[in-house]
């Protein structure tokens, strides 16, 4: 190993997550040598700015991975599924933001604040980045697990439209424009559904509404998003028996997922001690003084890196449970930031030399 | 007792709940004889329509209760606190929609589909109507309790702006108008807060946001709304040891509260049997086929009477728990309708004669 800075490829540089990734990479110094930008042939030749420099986008092909040390994938599942192994074969460590490999037992699922050590354990040369909903809470839960021993979670989500990509954002904006100004909507049955126009990626109107669905239908009425929250939380925390019930609901917010969490532990908990454990945890900010309206909301959290935690209460009827409300930007920590952090853990292997 | 139809007084006839009450009373035949409308001196002399007839509003005074059999109170807590006992002294049965008497051990808290028999047990001559958030779920939970024996609830709410009265509705409408058309809001920190204008009764922006707060601050960080869900559920179901954790969150919806509920029981549950028990329960509609996007949402439920239940799943890691998503119109079943139903239970005592 040398002191040369490692080479990075960003596959999917032109997408919603890719754009935030370029912003994040531009704030980092002395981590990466060359940064190569890759997307579909449609985007080849486009120029994007990263670290203040214009870089030409290359079409995805095996050769783009030559001499690459780390390759990030911010692309749809099926593209990752085909191409992350190609990058790994050519010697790059693939860090994948899609759902393609998350539950593969030979692929670690990494959140650096919680299980950074798992990044080194990658028999396939691939590391996965968790789903954004799981990421919005898992750093805080990791800190509480270390303090009290987590054994159960009941989660209800308040998920932003941008979790459904740029199409989700555009759909909600258009719907809000259509319902604005009408003083009768929302008071009588049917009006909102008639007024919003296109439903886009959502199965019901999202403006002036909430929609108890995200993802695709899985067994016994569960949505794929709800199963991801369960299965990924278990894998990241290394808790194969963790009891998890999640109900995932889309709300008319552009970006930043919020979660109401009822967390059960092996030991009795204390709200003040929990606040201290959370405040001391890297990547977590405690905002919890209802007397001064101090609690996290998506409108205030969007654009920031940490997980924000508020409304921390010991359950009245169960001294081993805590009730919390959390917010995290689903495009930053929920996607690009965590991927960048994983890649930096790998980069450190190269530069430790 | 005679066959004469009983006389009703509606105190607070000019308010948000009172207006819905007049609509509901207009759909009822052969329940009430005279209907008297009462409000503050500010409204005395106004004419409102009920059952197709114009009725003059009277200023609240002891004499308005003369010869009244049932007096409904749709007024602020402090007005109920003073005047419901006056009505009772004058021989009327007071049915109160405020929070003034709900936890009084000498006042029954009644949901006719769940505990109608409690209406007869009223030593003070007063019957209370539950809080709207509790009412949005309790009819469905009553049916499941009869089937399986309820012992625990974890609730996360998605509460509509109209729960904060007409001021809440107006504030959300104005905020939606202000954020409409702006394609940058919600992507960067702070923008939404700067754009929405007046916060009205909410402690943070509600348009393009969710706000984890409803009511006033009580001990240990709980909101009054969260404690109402716990204490009123216990009282209505007659379950003094029911474990309840609620997190109450306001969402940018005009009317109809939604709830994500994780309910734990004494016995193993089955999702299909639970669906059948709910479908058979009066006042409950099951809407649960995610394959065809069939689940309740506030936009579709507003203006209807029942509690709508969907997303019924047996918890994967606990065969004694169910996960559900419920919607109920907070101004109908959540307020005026349940009060009207209680009053009709009492009216039946008179007409049974
Ligand atoms: N949105 C979120 O909150 C979120 C959070 C966590 C994870 N993720 C995951 O991150 C990934 C990207 O999501 P996104 O929201 O950024 O999607 P997006 O905006 O649709 O971007 C997709 C990117 O993939 C590229 N791409 C598509 N097909 C390709 C192909 N055949 N070969 C090469 N490149 C191809 C696109 O390039 P062109 O521009 O050339 O088409 C674009 O750069 C997905 O797996 C998603 O599930 C998203
Ligand atoms: N909004 C909900 O979702 C909801 C749900 C369940 C229960 N509730 C409860 O129902 C009650 C009414 O709520 P709301 O939303 O209808 O409130 P609102 O719109 O503010 O109406 C208040 C009513 O009370 C009357 N009033 C006020 N002060 C009075 C006084 N000193 N003497 C006589 N009448 C007086 C008003 O008459 P004037 O017009 O003459 O001022 C008006 O008719 C409250 O206790 C509330 O907590 C509301």
> How far apart are the C-alpha atoms of A306 and A334, rounded to whole Å?
10
The verdict on residue B3 lying in a domain is no
Residue among B345, B54, B206, B39 at smallest CA distance from A251: B206
Query: CA A248 to CA A203: how far, in whole Å?
Result: 13
The DSSP code sequence of B156-220 is EEEB-GGGGHHHHHHHHHHHHHHHTT-SSTTTSTTHHHHHS---TTSSS--TT--BS--S-B-GG
Residue B139 lies in a domain: yes
- Do B262 and B280 belong together in one domain? yes
Q: pLDDT band at residue A197, thresholds of 50, 70 and 90?
A: very high
Does residue A192 sit in the same domain as residue A311? Answer: yes
- Among A1-5, B86-90, B159-163, B305-309, name the one with the lowest average pLDDT: A1-5
pLDDT at B190: 56
Average pLDDT along chain A: 95
Euclidean distance between CA atoms B100 and A163, whole angstroms = 43
Tell me, yes or no, whether A156 and A301 share the same domain.
Answer: yes
Tokens for A261? 């969490």
Mean pLDDT of chain B: 95
Q: What is the pLDDT of residue A353?
A: 54
In the structure encoding, which two tokens stand for residue B232, read together? Answer: 């009123």
Q: Is residue B1 part of a domain?
A: no
Q: What is the b/e burial string over A292-319, where b = at least 16 CB atoms within 10 angstroms of the residue's CB?
A: eeebbbbbbbbbbebbbbbbbbbbbebe
Cα angle value A317/A318/A320 (rounded, 5°)? 160
Interval A112-116 mean pLDDT: 97
Q: What's the maximum distance between 2 C-alpha atoms anywhere in chain B? A: 68
- Looking at the complex, report in whole angstroms how far the Cα of residue B313 sits from the nearest Cα belonging to chain A: 6
Burial class (CB in 10 A: 0-12, 13-18, 19+), B4: exposed
C-alpha of residue B16 to centroid of ligand 2, in Å:
7
Task: Give every strand in the sheet of B8-11, ordered side by side.
Answer: B47-50, B53-59, B35-39, B8-11, B70-73, B93-96, B126-128
Q: Tally the C-alpha atoms within 13 A of residue A150's C-alpha that lie toward its C-beta.
A: 28
Residue B121 has pLDDT above 70, yes or no: yes
pLDDT at position A190: 56
Task: Return the percentage of chain A with pLDDT > 70, whole number.
Answer: 98
pLDDT at position A182: 87
| Closest listed residue to residue B33, CA positions, set B336, B350, B341 | B350
Residue-level pLDDT at B353: 54
Residue pair B303/B329 in contact by the 8 Å Cβ criterion = yes
Is A105 found in the same domain as A248? no
Q: Is B202 touching A (CB cutoff 8 A)?
A: no
Q: How far away is chain A from the Cα of B25, in angstroms, using its nearest Cα?
A: 18
Residue B151 lies in a domain: yes
Please report whether residue A273 resides in a domain: yes
What is the whole-number distance in angstroms between the Cα of residue B324 and the centre of ligand 2? 32
Same domain, A255 and A149: yes
Hunting for tokens 């609830």 — which residue is that? B153
Q: Nearest CA to A5 among A47, A88, A83, A67?
A: A67
Do B166 and B277 lie in one domain? The reply is: yes
Compare CB distances from B313 to A220, A251, A325 and report the shortest one's residue.
A220
Among B218, B99, B157, residue whose Cα is nearest residue A316: B218
B89-115: per-residue pLDDT in tens? Answer: 999 999 999 999 999 999 999 999 999
Residue in B17, B57, B159, B303 to alter for ligand 2 test, most ligand atoms within 8 A of Cβ: B17
Q: Does A4 touch chain B (CB under 8 A)?
A: no
Nearest CA in chain B to A313: B221
What does the radius of gyration of chain B's CA atoms come to, in whole angstroms? Answer: 21
Angle, in degrees to the nearest 10, between helices A132-148 and A271-280: 120
Distance of residue B5 Cα from the nearest chain A Cα, in angstroms: 32
- Convert B52-117 into a string of H (helix), E (strand) and C (coil): CEEEEEEECCHHHHCCCCEEEECCCHHHHHHHHHHHHHCCCEEEECCCCCCCCCCCCECCHHHHHH
Question: Is residue B158 pLDDT above 60, yes or no?
Answer: yes
Same structural domain for residues B145 and B266? Answer: yes
Considering the domain architecture, whether residues B223 and B319 belong to the same structural domain is answered as yes
- Beta strand A47-50 with A53-59: parallel, antiparallel or unpaired? antiparallel
**Same structural domain, A15 and A122:** yes
Report d(CA A208, CA A322) in Å as an integer: 31
Q: Closest Cα to residue B281, out of B132, B128, B149, B147?
A: B147
Q: Which run of H or E residues covers position B225?
A: helix B224-237
Convert the pLDDT of each residue in A133-152 to its tens digit: 999 999 999 999 999 999 99
Q: Is the pLDDT of residue A340 over 70?
A: yes
A245/B290 touch (CB, cutoff 8 Å), yes or no: no
Mutate to test the interface with A, among B210, B255, B286 (most CBs of A within 10 A): B210
Q: Does B325 touch chain A (CB under 8 A)?
A: yes
Please tell me which residue of chain B has the smallest CA distance to A288. B221
d(CA A87, CA A72): 10
**Confidence label for A96 from pLDDT (cuts 50, 70 and 90):** very high
Is residue A319 domain-resident?
yes
The maximal CA–CA distance of chain A, rounded, in angstroms, is 68
Integer Cα distance of A229 and A329 in angstroms: 16
Q: In sequence order, what are the residues at sequence separation of 6 or more whose Cβ sits closer than 8 angstroms to the Cβ of residue A331?
A: A16, A17, A20, A132, A162, A255
- Inter-chain touch B262–A262, beta carbons under 8 Å: yes
Task: Residue B51: give the domain boundaries.
Answer: 8-130+335-352
Predicted confidence band of residue A188 (pLDDT cuts 50, 70, 90): low
pLDDT tens string A278-311: 999 999 999 999 999 999 999 999 999 999 999 9
Helix (H) or strand (E) holding A265: strand A257-265
* CATH at residue A194: 3.30.360.10
Give the best residue of A210, A327, A333 to mutate against chain B (max B CB count within 10 A): A210
Going by the annotation, the residues of the binding site of B for substrate are 159, 250
Torsion sign across C-alpha atoms A240, A246, A248, A253: negative
Could you give the CA distance from residue B113 to residue B138 in angstroms, rounded to a whole number? 9
Residue B205 CA to residue A49 CA, distance in Å, equals: 34
B267 CB neighbour count, 10 Å cutoff:
10
Four-point Cα dihedral B192, B196, B202, B204, nearest 10: 20
Q: Which ligand is nearest to the CA of A72?
A: 1
| Mutation choice for A interface testing from B169, B188, B209 by most A CBs within 10 A | B209
What does the alpha-carbon distance between residue A182 and residue B177 come to, in Å, rounded to a whole number?
9
A222 touching B, CB under 8 A? Answer: yes
Overall average pLDDT of the B22-29 stretch: 95
CB contact under 8 A, A223 and B313: no
The answer to whether position B2 is within a domain reads no
For residue B50, the domain's CATH number is 3.40.50.720
Helix ranges restricted to H, A251-295? 271-280
Same domain, A176 and A266: yes
User: pTM of the prediction?
Assistant: 0.95
SS3 B318: coil
> Counting beta carbons within 10 angstroms of the beta carbon of residue B144, is it exposed (0 to 12), middle (13 to 18) or buried (19 or more)?
buried
Is A2 inside a domain boundary?
no
Q: Are residues B22 and B144 in the same domain?
A: no
Percentage of chain B beyond pLDDT 70 is 98
Tokens (6 digits) for B317: 């890691």
**Res. B189: pLDDT tops 80:** no
Q: Answer whether B316 sits within 8 Å of A244, measured CB to CB.
A: yes
Size (chain A), residues:
353
- Number of domains making up chain A: 2
User: Are A77 and A184 contained in the same domain?
Assistant: no
The stretch A215-240 carries a mean pLDDT of 98
């Amino acid at each position: 190993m040398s002191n040369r800075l490692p080479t990075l490829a960003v596959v999917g540089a032109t997408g919603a997550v890719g754009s935030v990734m370029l912003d994040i990479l531009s704030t980092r110094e002395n981590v990466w040598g060359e940064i190569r930008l890759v997307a579909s042939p449609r985007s080849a030749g486009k120029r994007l700015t990263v670290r203040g420099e214009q870089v030409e986008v290359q079409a995805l092909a095996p050769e783009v991975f030559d001499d690459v040390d780390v390759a990030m994938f911010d692309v749809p599942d099926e593209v990752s599924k085909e191409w992350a192994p190609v990058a790994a074969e050519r010697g790059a460590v693939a860090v994948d933001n899609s759902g393609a490999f998350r539950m593969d037992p030979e692929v670690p699922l990494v959140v650096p604040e919680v299980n950074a050590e798992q990044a080194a354990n990658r028999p396939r040369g691939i590391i996965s980045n968790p789903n954004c909903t799981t990421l919005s809470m898992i750093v805080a839960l990791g800190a509480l697990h270390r303090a009290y021993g987590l054994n159960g979670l009941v989660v209800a989500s308040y998920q932003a439209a941008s979790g459904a990509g740029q199409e989700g954002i555009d759909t909600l904006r258009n719907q809000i424009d259509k319902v604005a100004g009408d003083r009768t909507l929302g008071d009588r049955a049917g009006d909102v559904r008639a007024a919003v126009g296109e439903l886009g990626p959502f199965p019901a109107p999202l403006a002036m509404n909430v929609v108890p669905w995200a993802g695709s239908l899985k067994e016994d009425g569960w949505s794929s998003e709800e199963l991801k929250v369960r299965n990924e939380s278990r894998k990241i925390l290394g808790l194969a028996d963790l009891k998890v019930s999640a109900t995932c609901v889309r709300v008319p917010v552009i970006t930043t997922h919020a979660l109401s969490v009822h967390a059960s532990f092996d030991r009795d908990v204390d709200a003040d001690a929990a606040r201290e454990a959370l405040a001391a945890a890297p990547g977590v900010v405690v905002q919890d003084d209802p007397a001064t309206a101090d609690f996290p909301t998506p409108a205030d959290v969007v654009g920031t890196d940490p997980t924000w935690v508020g409304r921390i209460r010991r359950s009245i009827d169960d001294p081993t449970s805590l009730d919390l409300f959390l917010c995290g930007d689903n495009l930053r920590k929920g996607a690009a930031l965590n991927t960048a952090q994983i890649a930096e853990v790998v980069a450190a292997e190269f530069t430790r030399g």
